[in-house]
Chain A
Amino acid sequence: MAANKPTLKTVRLTTPVEPADLAQLEIGNVVYLDGTIFTGREGVFKRAVHEGHGLPAPPEVIGNVNFHCSPAAARRDDGSYDIGAVTATASFRFAAWLDQWFEMSKCKVIIGKGGMTPDVYKKSFVPNEAVYLTTVGYGTGALLGRGIKAVKDVYWMDELGIAQAMWLFEVENFGPFLVESDLAGNSLFERENAKVAAGLDKVYEGLKPAIMSRYGETDDRKEELI
């Protein structure tokens, strides 16, 4: 298939994860999960942290793996749920809530899309002994959907709706994910960004500058754009 057949190290973890589980992870490892995970995105963070409602259930119930996600799901007539595809949403938007979120939830793994900045890993993840896993693709929604064996609970459905509610899933062989940030705060995306950036000048080489500059190309808002 691919010219360079991937041979990435693969790790399978059971939740709640233990410190030793996380210590073995290196950026670029492939991870699959078994056990309980809980979702959260802007609606949950706003309600739990910003509005001060706290978590709807204690860490012993929800576990320590938090997924920045909401599923494509529908409520059946009997009150149960039909879970279709599952994928993550972009995580960088949630950085502002992170410190209080770690303190409140005690979570040790955050799964999302696109990672956070290196500053956030150093400032928030490392002191809380947490790692970041990124979904793959993005959009392995069907594979991840297969990994969800049951909906254990849904919190704040009435307040937040299907797309923002906090879901508690029982998962099996749930993945694949890639380790984006390890316990030391190293970042896979940063490493790859740097490699790509090294070649960018050559890509743009020879292209003449634009006729008109654009607002935003400079931080000086008083500068005239010509």
Chain B
Amino acid sequence: MIPITALETTANELMAKAAIEIPDDYLDGLRAAADVETGELSAFVLQAMLENYEAAKEDRRAMCADTGVPRWYVKIGNEARIEGGPVELEAALRRATAGATNSVPLRPNRVHPLWRTDHNNNCGINAPEIEYSFHPDADWVELTTVHKGGLFGSDYRMLFPGDGIDGIKKFFLDTLVAFGKRGLACQPAIVGIGIGGSKDTCMMLGKQAACLRTVGSHNPDPKIAALEDEFKELGNTIGMGAMGFMGSSMVVGCNIETGYCHTGGMPVSVHMFCLSSRRATARVLIDGRAEYRSDPQWFTDYMRRETVEWQPTSQPSRQSG
């Protein structure tokens, strides 16, 4: 039985880590982009951001004041048992969200969509979101928090099989150009592309691809992995850099996730995880110990399974970043 206090303590720590510490994979990706950036203004912006991450860590201060809309991803091992059950777990995650909003502090961004009511704690109706996935042959629970900004950089389009890769490229470029102007997407970004699924699944896959996979990771399908590299290159040849200034720093990484869709369609979503790509993960073990890391390892062979039955004997489920 995993103690509920361990889950809540870990969740509190994750909220602060996500808000303050830029993940290493994104930092390395941004440094690589800065090394080849020739646009003077864009290069100035990247330099300021690199200094900003240092200031955040030194001061234990949130890296950006738009601390996004905190949300949770929970991966539950098939053998895991949580003290108090899922209702207690959700209560602990809500308490951690509210607590960290005051203690870090984060900006209380969450308001009622119509009445603009703000509880000053980032909690409310359907907030924070909590999404779940499961893992075979495991007795741990993994918590990931993502603090993604919410206004600019995501879009959805129903394409058709005849649109092909060209259609996806066009939509990808449209989204990057539209939201990249004046830097509204806060690029360079980790761009997540969801291809397929139902409309809601398509959005979910693209968002998870942006927020829950690391810079430099690849989809296990080699043809999709090649597309990820091609799309990253395409985004960086638009001629637009940070803040929409002339430059090459648009895409730090491109991650694609797929889902089977309606035979007549090819829905696509594009998401941009910004200069403050905030995420933090911990595995909480059965004895309450927490192992922290910045790679959520959310997408697994089990999650991407294609067959009716999962075949646990053929291979253990691999967690890939």
Contact = CB atoms under 8 A, between A and B. Distances in A.
A binds B: yes
Interface of A: 1-8, 28, 30, 69-74, 82, 84-87, 89-90, 113-115, 134, 136-146, 161-164, 176, 178, 188-189, 192-193, 195-196, 199-200, 203-204, 207-208, 210-212, 214
Contacts of B84: none
Given A137-B186, A192-B246, A72 B49 contact: no
Interface stretch (B125-133, B176-184, B291-299): B176-184
Q: 4 closest pairs, A vs B, by CB?
A: A74-B105, A142-B56, A6-B44, A139-B64
Given A72-B105, A189-B244, A200 B238 contact: yes
Nearest to A92: B182
Nearest to B186: A138
Contact of A138 (B158, B237, B243): B243
A113 B106 CA distance: 19
Interface in B215-232: none
Nearest to B52: A140
A2 B157 contact: no
B47 A85 contact: no
Contacts of B50: 1
Nearest to A42: B116
A175 B120 CA distance: 27
Contact of A137 (B52, B177, B234): B52
A115 B182 contact: yes
B212 interface: no
B107 A90 contact: no
Given A3-B38, A4-B37, A84-B61, A136 B243 contact: yes
Contacts of B166: 207-208
A207 B169 contact: yes
Contacts of A210: 159, 163, 167, 170-171
A82 B105 contact: yes
A72 B62 contact: yes
B244 A30 contact: no
Contacts of B64: 85, 87, 137-142
